[in-house]
């Protein structure tokens, strides 16, 4: 295979380095796979291009348009995934490892696209929460909103997931409307560059949205401002160096770190060798040791079991590890490939030697490994290494030193409180897992350890078949953790998007803030002229379009008929004496759902029209009881709109139900789908 000369992508063009190239070696045979370098790039020009060209182009798009763009990127990657799999094997990854990286990365983009279109408005401003009433009469209000940062996101990624690691950051960044400069780790940059090239060639990205650096970053960080974000994945040492950069400190540049950590797993005290959870625990520890050859920031480094089960757990782990076949990941039957480089293997061997001063190796040999289909000397192969530390409280390295490879240490605990304290000695991790069938055990662990871990997976026989496992971050959930793990968060659905946006508190009149936020606020002007709001198509309906209904008196007969018809004969509706004894009611009162039904009867226009469906209520509150003889009326106001596709859009209506004295009886948001 002829070495690839990797290209940078800057200011809308592909650039080869003008010199200073570095060789990247295959993890399988040590041959040169690629050459990297960034000499000759103008890093200031790259940041300027992102801010002046990419940023405005992305911000001109709505959340939904950006989400559809991200979906197109994912589709392009999936269409050419085999090209990426072919390169992935050179990193030491098996097909399963590559699937997590390549298809898992595309899946993350798909997930973000879906959430962006489902949970965000088809708009450029994101409203954050309800308005805050700042004056007695309601003429002065506040509203929190999010807008995209007007800078650039610098993504500095680790070597272990060259595709997924890039895409997990790009999904939320692009949907937020912020351009990115991607800096992959050199050891696997050839796979990142290939994926990046696919995205560029998809033809859906506006100019300046993405740029790529495949070498050193030079003075890039010197040109950052308060509008920029640095999102980093890697070692604690590198993270500290970056975070301490004088410009990042001076400009208060947002810094999101996802650092390697000593993640732990615990076998609950309720589990015996016969329990399903025991076998699940053994399988998960071995899987986390061998997937990506243990080169995962989420991999299990410390495995804790009840002291009485230490020997049984060791025997079970060794038996399962003995079935692992190390070798060229392209060879059938191989279940664990190589580390990413011989330099990485040397580092792991050094770390194992440190750990072995406190723990003894009970499986594997850091210096010897049987390799299938390749040379143990030429490649970066390493045996899985299981250590055992019988007194974890006397140890220090087992809680501080991470061997970033197929290495884990088995340790005992005396009781659940001891297990929690030992897990927390890791000083913060990305993920901890617990194997138990006892909710009381899980509750105690969550209360004792939750603050030290970004994610806590609880596995039992009921969820095991569907569980994604200890080491699988999901786009729906945050990926990050406190302390040693970096104190940052990535992904987490819309939470991940908000990292690249600024929350601003707006203050002003309801009319003004309605116009800015595109969401109607009480006391803003209403449009009450005909026709009925339900007669207007999505494109014709304006925010603030309102209907004030006539009143309807609710009788005792209405209440009794509703109770008989629905079967809801709760005493507050049917027993005068019992209802009067309730401090919340003056006597018999109308059902809440009767009020909703009568309210709908007052404002619904029954003829076929643009309203296609009523699909839900949000924020429903019953605020004052309605007694027989009270009269209710409704104010229905178009609150916000969000187009869903070419055929229909979502309309959110503000519904206020009041009585004859003008007091609020009920309030809620009605959701309808309206034809375009």
Active site residues: 258, 297
Task: Give the SS3 label for residue 1.
Answer: coil
Task: Give the SS3 label for residue 295.
Answer: coil
Q: Which residue has the tokens 């800078």?
A: 151
Assigned token pair, 125 = 């401003």
CA dihedral 169, 172, 177, 180 (to 10 degrees): 0
Instruction: Name the DSSP class of 482.
Output: S
Neighbours of 346 (CB within 10 A): 12
Q: What is the largest CA-CA distance in the chain?
A: 91
d(CA 379, CA 27): 5
Assigned token pair, 538 = 């999505």
Q: Are the beta carbons of 126 and 519 closer than 8 angstroms?
A: no
Neighbours of 35 (CB within 10 A): 20
d(CA 432, CA 457): 6
d(CA 641, CA 651): 5
Q: List b or e across 273-302, with b for residues whose CB sees 16 or more CB atoms inside 10 angstroms.
A: eebebbbbbbebbbbbbbbbbbbbbbbbbb
d(CA 383, CA 318): 12
Residues in Cβ contact with 399 at an 8 Å cutoff, skipping those fewer than 6 apart = 262, 302, 392, 422, 425, 426, 427
Instruction: Name the DSSP class of 550.
Output: P
Provide the edge-to-edge strand list for the sheet that holds 153-156: 13-15, 8-10, 210-212, 180-183, 153-156, 229-234, 254-259
The vertex-98 CA angle with 197 and 177, nearest 5°, equals 45
Q: List b or e across 556-576, with b for residues whose CB sees 16 or more CB atoms inside 10 angstroms.
A: eebbeebbeeeeeeeebbeee
Helix (H) or strand (E) holding 14, with range, is: strand 13-15
Assigned token pair, 123 = 């708009």
From 20, 64, 13, 62, select the one nearest 38 (Cα to Cα): 20
From 450, 401, 398, select the one nearest 260 (Cα to Cα): 401
- The partner residues of 212 in beta bridges, in order of sequence, read 9, 182
From 235, 322, 244, 316, select the one nearest 283 (Cα to Cα): 316
Determine how β-strand 4-5 pairs with β-strand 263-267.
unpaired
d(CA 642, CA 501): 20
Q: Are the beta carbons of 381 and 339 closer than 8 angstroms?
A: yes
d(CA 515, CA 509): 10
């Amino acid at each position: 295979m002829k070495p690839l000369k990797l290209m940078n992508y800057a200011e809308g063009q592909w650039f080869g380095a003008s010199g200073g190239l570095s060789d990247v070696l295959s993890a399988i045979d040590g041959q040169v796979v690629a050459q990297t370098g960034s000499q000759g790039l103008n890093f200031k020009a790259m940041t300027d291009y992102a801010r002046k060209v990419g940023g405005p182009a992305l911000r001109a798009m709505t959340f939904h348009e950006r989400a559809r763009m991200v979906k197109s990127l994912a589709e392009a990657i999936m269409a050419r995934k085999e090209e990426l799999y072919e390169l992935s094997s050179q990193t030491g990854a098996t097909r399963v490892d590559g699937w997590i990286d390549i298809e898992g990365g595309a899946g993350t983009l798909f997930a973000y696209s879906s959430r962006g279109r489902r949970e965000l408005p088809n708009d450029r401003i994101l409203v954050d929460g309800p308005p805050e009433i700042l004056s007695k009469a309601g003429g002065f209000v506040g509203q929190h909103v999010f807008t995209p940062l007007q800078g650039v996101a610098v993504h500095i990624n680790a070597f272990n997931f060259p595709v997924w690691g890039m895409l997990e950051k790009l999904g939320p960044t692009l949907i937020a409307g912020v351009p990115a400069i991607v800096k992959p780790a050199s050891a696997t940059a050839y796979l990142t560059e290939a994926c990046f090239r696919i995205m560029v060639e998809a033809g859906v990205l506006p100019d300046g949205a993405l740029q790529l650096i495949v070498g050193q970053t030079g003075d890039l960080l010197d040109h950052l401002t308060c509008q920029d974000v640095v999102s980093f994945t890697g070692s604690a040492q590198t993270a500290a160096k970056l975070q301490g950069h004088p410009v990042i400190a001076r400009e208060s540049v947002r810094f999101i770190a996802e650092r390697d950590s000593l993640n732990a797993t615990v076998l609950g005290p309720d589990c015996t060798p016969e329990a399903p959870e025991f076998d699940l625990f053994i399988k998960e520890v071995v899987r986390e040791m061998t997937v990506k050859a243990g080169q995962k920031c989420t991999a299990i480094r410390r495995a804790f079991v009840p002291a009485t089960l230490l020997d049984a757990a060791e025997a079970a782990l060794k038996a399962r590890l003995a079935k692992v076949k190390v070798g060229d990941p392209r060879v059938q039957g191989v279940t664990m490939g190589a580390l990413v480089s011989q330099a990485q293997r040397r580092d792991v061997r050094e770390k194992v030697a440190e750990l072995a001063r406190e723990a003894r190796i009970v499986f594997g040999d850091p210096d010897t490994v049987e390799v299938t289909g390749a040379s143990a000397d030429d490649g970066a192969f390493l045996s899985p290494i299981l250590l055992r530390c019988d007194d974890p409280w006397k140890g220090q390295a087992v809680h501080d030193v991470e061997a970033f490879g197929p290495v884990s240490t088995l340790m005992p605990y005396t009781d659940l409180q001891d297990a929690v304290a030992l897990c927390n000695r890791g000083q913060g991790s990305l993920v901890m897992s617990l194997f138990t069938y006892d909710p009381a055990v899980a509750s105690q662990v969550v209360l004792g350890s939750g603050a030290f871990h970004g994610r806590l997976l609880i596995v039992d026989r009921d969820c095991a078949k569907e569980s994604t496992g200890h080491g699988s971050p999901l786009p729906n959930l945050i990926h990050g953790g406190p302390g040693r793990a970096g104190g940052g968060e990535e992904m987490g659905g819309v939470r991940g998007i908000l990292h690249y946006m600024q929350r601003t508190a707006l203050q002003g009149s309801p009319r003004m803030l309605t116009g800015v936020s595109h969401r109607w606020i009480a006391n803003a002007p209403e449009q009450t002229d005909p026709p009925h709001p339900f007669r207007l198509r999505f494109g014709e309906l304006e925010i603030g379009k309102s209907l004030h209904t006539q009143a309807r008196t609710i009788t005792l007969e209405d209440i009794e008929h509703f109770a008989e018809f629905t079967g809801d004969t709760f005493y507050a509706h049917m027993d005068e004496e019992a209802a009067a004894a309730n401090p919340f009611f003056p006597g018999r009162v109308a059902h809440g759902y009767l009020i909703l039904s009568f309210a709908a009867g007052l404002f619904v226009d029954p003829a076929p029209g643009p309203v296609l469906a009523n699909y839900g209520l949000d924020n429903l509150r019953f605020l004052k009881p309605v007694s027989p003889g009270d009269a209710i009326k409704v104010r229905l106001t178009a609150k916000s709109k969000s187009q869903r596709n070419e055929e229909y859009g979502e309309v959110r209506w503000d519904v206020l139900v009041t009585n004859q004295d003008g007091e609020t009886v009920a309030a809620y948001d009605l959701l309808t789908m309206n034809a375009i």
